[in-house]
Amino acid sequence: MSSPTTLRRLTAPAVKAMLSDGHELALIDLREELTFSQSHLLWARNIPLSRLELRFAALVPRLATRIVLCDAADGLVERAAGVLKRAGYADLAFLDGGIAAWEAAGFELFSGVNVPSKAFGEHVEHASHTPSISANELDALLRGGADMVVVDSRPFDEYQRVSIPTATNVPGAELVLRIHDIAPKPETLVVVNCAGRTRSIIGAQSLINAGLPNKVVALRNGTMGYNLAGFATESGKSRRKLDVTGGGLARAKAAAERVAQRYGVERIDRAKLDRFRADRDRTLYLFDVRNPHEYAAGHVSESVTAPGGQLVQASDQYVGTLGARIVLIDEAEVRAVMTGSWLKQMGFTDVFVMAEAGTETGIPPSRVLGDKPAPQSAIGCAQLADLLAQDAATVVDLSLSPNYRKGHIPGAWFAIRSQLQSALAQIPLRGELVLTSEDGVLAGLAVSEAGRPARYLEGGNAAWAAAGQKNSMEMSMASKPEDVWLKPYERPNDTVSAMSEYLAWETDLLPRIERDGTTRFTS
């Protein structure tokens, strides 16, 4: 564990000045996601200490990055610094006094998650006067048999959970690529929806920016607004548009070319990408913005799957370093150009497009920080099952709480990894202590932190399920489930109030970012 004296202390004004000094910066909040969502700095990226080794390298890939850690002045910074120093990160500092010091300095704090992207969506609607229709207006059009198409701009899994009647799933960055085949007649009304506001606004404005001759509107407040208005949504639907005709592609490319020229989206070739890769003084993010199945079939080496709509919707979950270079990959260019146009308007200045599919297949493993656990600390599923049958083992599950709630090893206790020792103090331990997690990786990292002899389940809960072992739904919580922020419609109680509060939160973001004064949004 690192001592606070070995880290550079920074005042809140010093940190705020770093946001506009032109140099790369990774501002990392180490608290759990639910705690983070209650109050945080606008540009902070949330990487909880409990999952630091799993997520940090993807978000902050360059070891020489200037990093500022923040917490609630509760010791998370010091614990994280030790992990990061051992992994080779050298330029580490922390916000002295935590987020309370930021507030005491008179600076703005934000609630919610993905706030920069959400605020940007509100900025776009305000600056571009993006047209929208209400749920009542849409329902009347649907009942009247209007010449219209409803396109749902979310990922397919979100669309399948809940959708507007007749809606076709076309994730955000796909809209300009595929809309000419979905609505070939210019008199057809195009309605774009998401769950709330941001992806509806960005999707509709994408089509308008691309010069689609059709009338295009966003569904105001998305599926949540549709539900709140008393209308029935659908679930389990599979309407999606995965192909594009030659004529549709030609029209989409022409539209993307106009957008590229308007917003200054620069194209690069493999030679320039190689020069970017050789530049050790800059962080490079290489994002494949196509559909995930296209990425798996063939992608450029070292690229990460980041469907364009989600990259704009949740930029903080992909880009950990402010001021970095970003290269967007799409052999058809259309999705990369549209995504790039939005990132540039969000304030990401060094954004480039490369038209290439690549030949590397599958999903590459994520880089995990830290040392692998000793082989003797692993335990297999059959051996653990035998111990449990003899009441000779206590299992502690470090999975995310929603995963734990879906089913877990019988008798397993839920705990947050960064709170492991305090959690163990609440658990009546019997026999061997065995830690588990989704795939066992996090559990292996935590073995040395238990403060007592412990083992980890090799392969974790995935291996347990693959071995045909039974799961349980009985809950035993040794930590509060503060590790995950639940979407309004995922909350177990009063989802109507949660949806209303969420939509009000989104519309209130514009005045708050104006008070903060650190955004560089354009339109």
Three-class DSSP category at 87: helix
Query: The tokens 């009985």 sit on which residue?
Result: 474
Is 90 a domain residue? yes
Are residues 282 and 211 part of one domain?
no
Which domain covers residue 427, as residue numbers?
375-466
And the tokens for 505?
Answer: 């939160």
Distance of CA 397 to the CA centre of its chain: 23
Whether residue 506 is contained in a domain is answered as no
The H or E element containing residue 421 is: helix 420-424
Q: What is the rounded CA–CA span in Å between residue 242 and residue 170?
A: 8
Task: Let me know whether 246 and 295 are in one domain.
Answer: no
The DSSP output letter for 375 is G
User: Closest by alpha carbon to 66, among 112, 22, 128?
Assistant: 22
The predicted pLDDT at position 4 comes to 41
Indicate the length of the chain as a whole number: 523
The pLDDT assigned to 493 comes to 85
Residue 3, pLDDT above cutoff 70 = no
User: Considering 430, 449, 466, which residue would you say is the last residue of a domain?
Assistant: 466
Tell me how far apart the alpha carbons of residues 453 and 434 are, in angstroms, rounded to a whole number.
9
Answer for the pair 351, 340: CB distance below 8 angstroms, yes or no. Answer: yes
126-135, 415-424, 491-500 — which is least confidently predicted? 491-500
- Is residue 9 in some structural domain? yes
With CA atoms as reference, report the closest residue to 73 among 31, 104, 38, 107: 31
Q: Is residue 436 part of a domain?
A: yes
Distances (CA, A) of 114 to 28, 74, 117, 437: 14, 24, 6, 26
Which residue, among 26, 5, 4, 6, has the nearest Cα to 15 in the 3D structure?
A: 26
Q: Can you give the pLDDT at residue 5?
A: 40
489 located within any domain: no
Tell me which DSSP letter residue 314 carries.
Answer: T
Position 156 pLDDT exceeds 80: yes
pLDDT one-digit tens code per residue, 85-103: 999 999 999 999 999 999 9
* pLDDT tier at 523, thresholds 50, 70, 90: confident
**What would the two tokens of residue 180 be?**
């000419």
**Average pLDDT for 372-384:** 96
For the chain, what is the radius of gyration of the CA atoms?
A: 24
Q: In angstroms, how far is the first alpha carbon of the chain from the final one?
A: 46
- The average pLDDT across 173-191 equals 97
Please, are residues 272 and 260 in contact by the beta-carbon 8 Å criterion?
no
Cβ neighbour number for residue 490 with a 10 Å cutoff: 12
DSSP state of 166: T
Judgement on whether residues 158 and 243 belong to the same structural domain of the protein: yes
Token pair for 345: 């308007």
Same domain, 141 and 246: yes
Q: Is 369 within a domain?
A: no
Phi, psi of 238 (to 5 degrees): -135, 20
Please write the tens of the pLDDT for every residue from 253-280.
999 999 999 999 999 999 999 999 999 9
Last residue of a domain, one of 112, 129, 158: 112
Q: Is the pLDDT of residue 33 over 90?
A: yes
The CATH number that applies at residue 275 is 3.40.250.10
445 and 395, same domain (yes or no) = yes
pLDDT digits (tens, 9 = 90+) for 402-437: 999 999 999 999 999 999 999 999 999 999 999 999
pLDDT at 242: 86
Question: How does DSSP classify residue 245?
Answer: -
Q: Three-class SS string for 59-122?
A: HCCCCCCCEEEECCCCCHHHHHHHHHHHHCCCCEEEECCHHHHHHHCCCCCECCCCHHHHHHHH
Residue 105 belongs to a domain: yes
Average pLDDT for the chain: 96
* Lookup: tokens for 388: 């449990």
- HSE-CB of 448 using CA atoms within 13 angstroms: 10
* pTM attached to this predicted model: 0.95
CA–CA separation, 285 and 1 (whole Å) = 30
Which of 198, 230, 257 terminates a domain? The answer is 257
Pair 398, 452 in one domain: yes
User: What value, to the nearest 5°, has the Cα angle with vertex 164 and ends 162 and 170?
Assistant: 85
Sign (positive or negative) of CA dihedral 191, 197, 199, 203: positive
Measured distance CA(239)–CA(151) in Å, rounded = 10
Residue 1 has pLDDT above 90, yes or no: no
For 341-386, strand residue ranges (E) read 351-354, 378-379
Strand partners, 288: 305, 329
Of 155, 228, 163, 195, nearest to 495 by C-alpha is: 228
Residues 212, 106 share a domain:
no
Residues 81 and 94 in one domain: yes
| DSSP strand pairing (67-70 vs 92-95) | parallel
Residue 135 lies in a domain: yes
Query: Based on the domain organization, do 144 and 250 belong to the same domain?
Result: yes
Question: Where do the DSSP E strands lie in 214-283?
Answer: 216-219, 266-267
Residue 360's beta-bridge partner residues? 299
DSSP 8-state symbol, 174: G
pLDDT band of 492, cuts 50, 70, 90:
confident
Please report, as a single letter, which amino acid is at residue 322: L
Looking at the structure, do residues 123 and 247 belong to the same domain, yes or no? yes
Secondary-structure breakdown of the chain: helix, strand, coil percentages, each rounded to the nearest 5: 45, 15, 40
Total number of domains constituting the chain: 4
Tens of pLDDT, residues 42-89: 999 999 999 999 999 999 999 999 999 999 999 999 999 999 999 999
Q: What is the pLDDT of residues 450-468, one digit of tens each?
A: 999 999 999 999 999 999 9
CA distance to 169, 308, 426, per residue, from 162 (Å): 11, 21, 39
Same domain as 253, residue 133: yes
My answer on whether 395 and 315 are in the same domain is no
Cα distance between residue 39 and residue 113, in whole Å: 10
Burial 176-211 (b: 16+ CB within 10 A, else e): bbbbbbbbeeeebbbbbbbbbbbbbbbbbbbbbbbe
Rounded distance, CA 237 to CA 263, Å? 36
